[in-house]
Amino acid sequence: MAGPVEKQFFPGSDRPEILIDVNLAPGTSVTTTDTTVKRLEELLDSMGGVENYASYVGGGAPRFFISVNPEHPDSSFAKIIVTATGPVERDRIIAALDQHVANGTFAEARIRIRRLLFGPPVDWPVSFRVVGQDPATLRKVAHQVREVMSHNPHVVNPHLEWDQRVPTLKLEIDEQRLRLMGLTPLSVAQQMQYRTDGVPIAEVRQDIRTVDVYVRGQGAKRAQNEPPIYELRNEQGQKIPLSHLGEVKLAYEDAMIRRHNRELFLAVRGEVKNAQPQDVTKALWADLESIHAALPDGYRIDIAGSLERSQEAEDSINQVFPLMIALMVTCVVLQMRSFPGVVIVLLTAPLGVIGSVVALLIFKQPFGFVALLGLIGLAGILMRNTLILTQQVSDNLEDGMLPSDAVVEAAVRRARPVVLTALAAALAFIPLTTDIFWGPMAYVLIGGVIVGTAITLFFVPALYALAFRLESR
């Protein structure tokens, strides 16, 4: 189970939707983003198998599926939700779009094409958080992490969540000089806001939404391809050129920064191809050992993505494990009424792992959260078979049989009902093997029940004879 079996959090969905994320450089205008989206829409119109699509420019789509998180408003981001006519057409459209992206058709943007996944929302399957205080140091370490990820053959498009800075204009002014001209920093900021981005003046009702109306002034242009001249008015109504107030400089700022538990972090993310995200994350974590050792004080790298969410889900189950084990042991004690008997029953619980591993390897199924639930239920099934055998041994001893004869007779007498019930349970799970969500759990239960029951018929009598020190004839 810890070796060749693939690990998975939740399987992919069989729904026909395709999610297309369009990311341009930070600070890109909505108009430029919309131009790229229209090119994608023209490509989709020329493909067969597309039932419909909806584009959201400047932000993400509303939550329509449990595993999809809505994105924040961003002028450089767009999302297209494509509905294919079926799963086969969905995979064909994804392959065609990936080929266009690989050929550089949309070189101005980072295009991510994926299908829906079951389970809790996971933005990127493979992700690492570089945590620290200084953004420059975070970038330096994050680029090293991305370099390691790029050498892994299963990682596609490794990138930093926020890296590029956006250009901004800064006005350096002297407040004393500003007051002499009859202006204040607030009035300058308000007038420049009106001249550049615009200021809201009213609200208009559009269908079920309220839309703000902005008004924006235009500066007088001196000549073509030259920046406009902005003029401000002081309290006396006099026009003052912006150049008289100070020097306008070009600076670069972070378009966004993110925090996790109030700590500044920079995520390095990537898609996975031809492998399971958890296996790739563990392999990358081992490759990052040298970077870990060279981290400055106060900086660290945390695992995110599918592996983190999987560990969180397992922790939620582990919280109720003590109560589950206590109730289970109590029921076994009330049935067996002897310490060696309780130990025998509990030792048969892990036998199902053998058959589960065999079934997962033969049918090439991953072990995920749903399969873990099946493995927990499998332990109860096998312990039930052990209780049946040990109870028959007790009944034989009460009838006056010799201890060794009682064990052999119980194994022979209970073999048929135990095997038949195990086969009935295994056959009942066959229809679930074709389901994309419940399939791994079905294979775990089928393999575990069949192999575990066969081993139990030999294991329990031998262990019973060893525990109670029965003499052989």
Do residues 281 and 306 touch, judged by C-beta distance below 8 A?
A: yes
Q: What is the pLDDT of residues 356-393, one digit of tens each?
A: 888 888 888 888 778 888 888 888 888 888 888 888 88
* Proportion of the chain above pLDDT 70, given as a percent: 95
Its pTM stands at 0.71
Measured between alpha carbons, how far is 31 from 37 in angstroms, rounded to an integer? Answer: 10
Domains of the chain: 1-121 (3.30.70.1430), 123-163+255-304 (3.30.70.1440), 165-253 (3.30.2090.10), 320-467 (1.20.1640.10)
Measured between alpha carbons, how far is 471 from 429 in angstroms, rounded to an integer? Answer: 41
Q: What is the pLDDT of residues 41-68, one digit of tens each?
A: 999 988 888 899 999 998 888 888 877 8
Tokens encoding 442: 């079905």
Residue 15's nearest CA partner among 64, 54, 61, 63 is: 64
Average of pLDDT values for 76-86? 91
The whole-number pLDDT of residue 35 equals 93
Q: What is the pLDDT of residues 392-415, one digit of tens each?
A: 888 888 888 888 888 888 888 888
Q: Which of 158-167, 264-273, 290-299, 464-473 has the lowest mean pLDDT?
A: 464-473
Select the more confidently predicted residue: 343 or 37: 37
The whole-number pLDDT of residue 268 equals 92
H, E, C per residue of 229-245: ECEEECCCCCEEEHHHC
Tokens encoding 379: 């332990």
Tokens encoding 83: 């509905």
Residue 447's nearest CA partner among 422, 416, 421 is: 422
